[in-house]
Amino acid sequence: MIDSSVADALLKNEGYEVFCLTMQVTNSEEVAKAARDAAQALVIPSDQVDLRGIFGEKIIAEFCRQY
pLDDT, one tens digit per residue, over 14-54 is 999 999 999 999 888 898 899 899 999 999 999 999 999 99
- State how far the Cα of 64 lies from the Cα of 67, in Å rounded to an integer: 5
- Domain ranges for the chain, please list them: 2-66
Residues 6+ apart with CB under 8 A from 41: none
- State how far the Cα of 28 lies from the Cα of 36, in Å rounded to an integer: 13
- pTM: predicted TM-score of the whole model, two decimal places: 0.73
DSSP at 56: I
pLDDT classification of 4: cutoffs 50, 70, 90: confident
Taking the alpha carbons at both ends of the chain, their separation in whole angstroms is 29
* 1, pLDDT greater than 70: no
- State how far the Cα of 23 lies from the Cα of 56, in Å rounded to an integer: 13
pLDDT classification of 58: cutoffs 50, 70, 90: very high
